[in-house]
Chains A and B, each alone.
Chain A
Amino acid sequence: MKCINCGAEVGLLDKTCPYCGSVNLESAGHRAEMKKYQKRSEKTKSAVKKSIAENVPLVVSAVILVLLIIGIGVAFYVEDEAALFSHWANRRESLKKSEEFSKKLIEYLEAGDYTGFVAYKEYHVIPEYEPEFQEFEKLSNFAYEFSQTMNSIERAVMYGEDAPRYGQESNVSSCRRNIDMFYYEYGKLENEPEDNYQKYMIDMKEQMDTALTIYLGLDDQEREEFLGSSMNKQEVYLEEVLLGE
């Protein structure tokens, strides 16, 4: 607002003009209204504070409820996907400890413990396709076939006197399939260029030949005949040796 005497700018609540000193008549009304507004404002503020105070527990409870619902949802998801989380955590760990794990894998190979090699690799979720373990890639695949076949022979031959018969019959079938697959895979490897791990593959084949000799009664010549025979003949032979039929 402007001073009615000198026209300078004066504040709404200024009693006199700060430039010419004349009395600001209009400000008296504003000052009176200001007190009224201040009172009203205080009243509104206290009403708002009261309302907030009344609703705080309600809002806090509602927020807790929403957070709990989200938390339970997350817990359900984690529980469902636990195996996956565990798998990825193990995989990350194996990449971090690649040097230590590679050394251990070589120890298993050197000891001729190829089933141990596969078990160690699977337990630690060692990814042979990653650069850190790529040297084991070809060997891993073959060792896996070896381990599967040894497992199936082990299952087919290690039975107690009172073992139920149906279990043995299914093991004989899987034993035949795995033997076939192992020698098929070995045949494919023979045509591939040699590498540092070829000696282990040859050793696996020799262990398998020995297992077939001592547990299935197949010497070198009989093994070749067995592998060259039909599926039915192979099953008949294994049933005869393993089940005494």
Chain B
Amino acid sequence: MSKKIILGILIVLDVILGLVFFVKIGNATEEIAWTYERESIGPSTVLKYLDWESYGDVAALARTGRIGAKVKDEDRDLYLLGEYADMLFQEKIFTAKGDADAAKRCAERCADIRATMPGYAVVLDKMDWSIENAIYHAE
């Protein structure tokens, strides 16, 4: 095989592997930038639980959003819905326990979320109903 042919084959291989390399580097960089939040909870999981009306799951999954985890802008609403459910659940406990300050903090946060997400009023109402329903059945 002449040197020219070998050189041609090497150049073609270099180009192909170069493309593969840049794609892989891009993927690896993206993977490394994943936070615990994105790694453990995909927005698709939150959406699935919202679809199932399993608001306790939504609350528990989105908790890292509440403590300041970085969340993509397009996923922020999902995490706020989870935070609303979580705050609602905790507010009832703090109220019944007599911890007025903590209950007030939770109630205010719920009111804030409700005010910033008028488009999700139906879902938020369903969350309210689920809590009231649970308390009613426990009485």
Contact = CB atoms under 8 A, between A and B. Distances in A.
A154 B130 contact: no
A166 to B, nearest CB: 10
Contacts of A217: 137-139
Nearest to A61: B10
Contact of B57 (A85, A125, A155, A207): A155
Interface of B: 3, 6-7, 10-11, 13-14, 17-18, 20-21, 24-25, 27-28, 31-37, 39, 52-57, 59-60, 63-64, 66-69, 85-86, 89-90, 92-94, 96-97, 99, 102, 105, 126-127, 129-131, 133-135, 137-139
Interface of B is mostly: helix
A120 B33 CA distance: 18
Interface in A66-122: 68-69, 71-72, 75-76, 78-79, 82-83, 85-86, 90, 108, 111-113, 115-116, 119-120, 122
B3 A151 contact: no
30 contacts: A58-B3, A65-B10, A65-B13, A68-B17, A68-B20, A72-B21, A75-B28, A78-B31, A82-B28, A83-B39, A86-B32, A120-B68, A123-B36, A123-B37, A125-B36, A155-B56, A156-B56, A157-B56, A158-B89, A158-B130, A159-B54, A160-B55, A160-B130, A163-B52, A163-B53, A163-B54, A206-B97, A210-B93, A210-B96, A242-B134
Contact of B56 (A64, A72, A86, A154): A154
A149 to B, nearest CB: 11
Contacts of B127: 158, 160
Interface string A167-191: 1000100000000000000000000
A157 B93 CA distance: 13
A224 B120 CA distance: 41
Interface of A is mostly: helix
A85 B32 CA distance: 7
B14 A61 contact: yes
A116 B82 CA distance: 13
A160 B36 CA distance: 28
Identify the 10 closest CB pairs spanning chains A and B, nearest first.
A160-B53, A82-B31, A75-B24, A158-B56, A61-B10, A155-B56, A217-B138, A157-B134, A154-B56, A68-B17
A158 B139 CA distance: 16
Contacts of B3: 54-55, 58
A61 B20 contact: no
A151 B10 contact: no
